[in-house]
Amino acid sequence: MKPKKIFIDYVPMALAAVLIIIFAFIKEQSFFKTLPTLVTLIVQILLVRANRYAFLLGGVNSAIYGAVYLTEGLYFSAVSALAISAPIQIYSFFNWSRKKNASGDTRLKTLGIKRLCFVIGVILSGWALCYFGLAVFFRTATYPVFDTLQFTIGVVVSFLAAFRYVESQHINIVNCASAVTMWTLICVGNPSNINYLIISCYNLFMVAKAAVSWTRKYKVQKCENV
């Protein structure tokens, strides 16, 4: 493995892991809340490589995240993690295992302009529905604007990734940026959650990398099929 690749992939991962462990110790954060952030470090490395095992491990980890979100009053994020993200990621693992090309890599796809515009419309309308309609049932929700946005994008991204669309990672950049903003605001009032801000920043970096990696991989596969 090239030194540059090691630096870009594993140095941020190691730095994030050290910071998470240090702050978990300082803030006396429970192992239950620390575990999913550490597992996410591994999931993101696998996701950048478009490795199907990212979904198997990610599905289990989503269930843990869901339980944590419930304790923080992030109800839409909890529903997304437990009822949607976890089962879809498990399905993604098996679907990706079947859709391979001659070289053994999972075949990636693109949406195209028309379907991408449709997906963006679904996200915006879904976000509005969740925030102005369903949010009334969760009056104690923490930061409902960000919570419902991440719920909506998370659902869409999970489905797009399950069916191997490259745009899933591009759209997920918006989701991760929203998470960074939300956890920054949460940590202002409750610094004990700083580990979730750290992992959100790491996720944003790695998802941006995944967007580039998946796009490059798709172009290579397209040339091979010509």
pLDDT digits (tens, 9 = 90+) for 196-223: 899 999 999 999 999 999 999 998 888 8
Q: Using the Cα atoms of residue 182, residue 184, residue 186 and residue 192 in order, give the sign of their dihedral.
A: positive
56 within 8 A of 47, measured Cβ to Cβ: no
Q: Which of 135, 209, 201, 211 is nearest to 171 (CA)?
A: 211
Instruction: Using pLDDT thresholds of 50, 70 and 90, give the confidence band for residue 12.
Output: confident
Taking only Cα atoms into account, the Rg of the chain, rounded to an integer number of angstroms, comes to: 18
3-state per-residue secondary structure call for 97-120: HHCECCCCCECCECCCHHHHHHHH
Q: Which residue has the tokens 């929700």?
A: 141
CA angle, residues 95, 164, 48, in degrees to nearest 5: 105
The answer to whether the CB of 93 falls within 8 A of the CB of 164 is no
- Please tell me the pTM assigned to this model: 0.83
> Per-residue pLDDT tens for 58-115?
999 999 989 888 887 778 778 888 988 899 999 999 988 876 655 567 788 999 999 9
